[in-house]
Structure 1
Amino acid sequence: MLELAGLSWRIGAVRIVDDVHLAVPEGEFLAVIGPNGAGKTSLFNLVSGVHRATSGAVLLDGRDVTRQPPHRRARGGIARTFQSSSVFATMTVAEHAELAARAAGARRVTAAAVTRLLARVRLEHRAGDLAAGLSHGDKRKLELAMLLAPTLAGDGPRLLLLDEPMAGVAAEETSELSSVLRELHQGEGRTVLMVEHHMDIVLGLADRVAVMHHGRLLAAGTPAAVMADATVQDAYVGEAL
């Protein structure tokens, strides 16, 4: 589904992302790990179009989208979240879902359809609540509902880019949020790329792990193979993944 071919992004002489080659088949859950400053979020910015690569290519279903702006890539099936939650404090949970569906082109959004959408992220019981009153974990689930809202207008996103979805989420909420992510991947068959620092979450969800280090892709493979890789171990002596 997604191929990164020699993808690079530099600012002046500094290479933030450096010659990344990576292929992600449809239906895979790929976790991207590495210390702060490794280039993980910058990689997501290049895939989603927030930044434009200085060299290399981003291919979606074999189509070169490297020069496309973010909204074109979104229409092509890419959806993403960011490290910081972004919801409207004075809008209800249901209003968020309806707004996102209408933005995707849904002409008529019924209350029943919104309820079904919210149920996919286990928020149907909060439909009438203001976003300001949600826990951080529920705000993360609401963001996922907004990513999925285009399904009310058509097929919806096929590739989800999740940038540290567990950041700031209370420990007692991570299990349910992990279950929601697992259902989106396994139950709905969506392809997921996730940046995450919590290794227990990564090992519980990911089919493969990609390790970033100083802007380069250091290794990619099954979680067990990557954790046992001598190059990865050498690179991270004294550093936390």
Structure 2
Amino acid sequence: MTAADAPGAKPPAPAAATSLALDRLSWSVGGAVIVDDVTMHVAEGEFVALIGPNGAGKTSLFNLVSGLTRPTAGTVSLGGADITRDAPHKRARLGMGRTFQTSSVFADLTVGANVGLAVQARTGDSRRFWKRAGADGGPEASAALDLVRLSHRADALAGDLSHGDKRKLELALLLARRPRLILLDEPMAGVGAGEIGELTTVIRDVHREQGCTVLMVEHHMEVLLDMADRLAVMHHGALLALTDPDSAMADPDVQAAYLGDGA
């Protein structure tokens, strides 16, 4: 009799389902290999940080995952479904959301109206949008703004927000679409030092409270080490390591990659 068969023994915890699976994913341009045979499986609800020196292929990998670029080899799967050939808008409907290095919000609309539009884009109901901009998202829009700590700015123009608050608004826009996987491409880029701490807290809250899977590219290592379950380290387009933060930072190959090329 095994320990699992003993009276009163707890059954083993089921393995987490795979949210995102990349299998032998590659992308070449004119003979130059940009992403090189990357295989990586991310579990449902996991937070994986993608790091590496400049030019390592991090954003190129994001473009392959989100559908902006089509791979020359390999596959991308979301929740077990092959989405390798799917366009970005179809991936969004399946639950994939992405932010970019440059903030993208409707600057001339209020914060609330921005989130209301995102809710309406998911539900298909735009009939009441111009009746009262910012109110149409209802409880969902309000909940998204609460989570990113922007409720007090709901009536402000999005263009008047600080860069850090625009990043929070982008997160609220993603939440309004009910994503299962969020790709964050350098969310701290351009954010003032005084706003990084709160933005880090917001991202952590979004991950924990929504239970969504997060894949994030970021150069602020202190941010990643505090949040990530695992680090995926890229170097010259290949996946150099995929492990917990302490093991990754202690890996001699990872250290050599950073010291050799710079962060």
The TM-score range, normalised by the shorter chain, is over 0.9
Instruction: Please give the secondary structure, in 1, of the residue aligned with 2:261.
Output: coil
The equivalences for 1:14-163 within 5 A come to: 14-107=32-125, 109-150=136-177, 156-163=178-185
Query: Could you say if the C-alpha distance between residues 164 and 3 of structure 1 is closer, same or farther in structure 2, counting changes exceeding 3 Å?
Result: same
**Number of aligned positions between the proteins:** 236
Distance in 2 (CA, whole Å) between partners of 1:5 and 1:113 is 35
Distance in 2 (CA, whole Å) between partners of 1:80 and 1:92 is 21
Query: Could you say if the C-alpha distance between residues 103 and 211 of structure 1 is closer, same or farther in structure 2, counting changes exceeding 3 Å?
Result: same
Offset at residue 116 of structure 1 (A): 2.2
Offset at residue 114 of structure 1 (A): 2.4
Query: Could you say if the C-alpha distance between residues 91 and 110 of structure 1 is closer, same or farther in structure 2, counting changes exceeding 3 Å?
Result: closer
Which residue does the alignment assign to 1:153?
A: none
Distance in 2 (CA, whole Å) between partners of 1:98 and 1:235 is 44
Instruction: Please give the secondary structure, in 2, of the residue aligned with 1:175.
Output: helix
RMSD: 1.2
Which residue does the alignment assign to 1:223?
A: 245
Distance in 2 (CA, whole Å) between partners of 1:216 and 1:52 is 17
Distance in 1 (CA, whole Å) between partners of 2:139 and 2:73 is 46
- The letter of the residue matching 1:41 is T
- The letter of the residue matching 2:223 is I
- Percent identical: 59
Q: Deviations over 1:167-188 (max 9, x none)?
A: 0111111111111111111122
Distance in 2 (CA, whole Å) between partners of 1:117 and 1:234 is 41
Query: Could you say if the C-alpha distance between residues 220 and 129 of structure 1 is closer, same or farther in structure 2, counting changes exceeding 3 Å?
Result: same
- The letter of the residue matching 2:159 is A
Offset at residue 36 of structure 1 (A): 1.5
Larger Rg: 2
- The letter of the residue matching 1:140 is R
Name structure 1 gaps, 5 residues minimum.
151-155
Deviates more, 1:170-179 or 1:111-120: 111-120
The answer on whether the counterparts of 2:54 and 2:262 sit within 8 Å (CA) in structure 1 is no
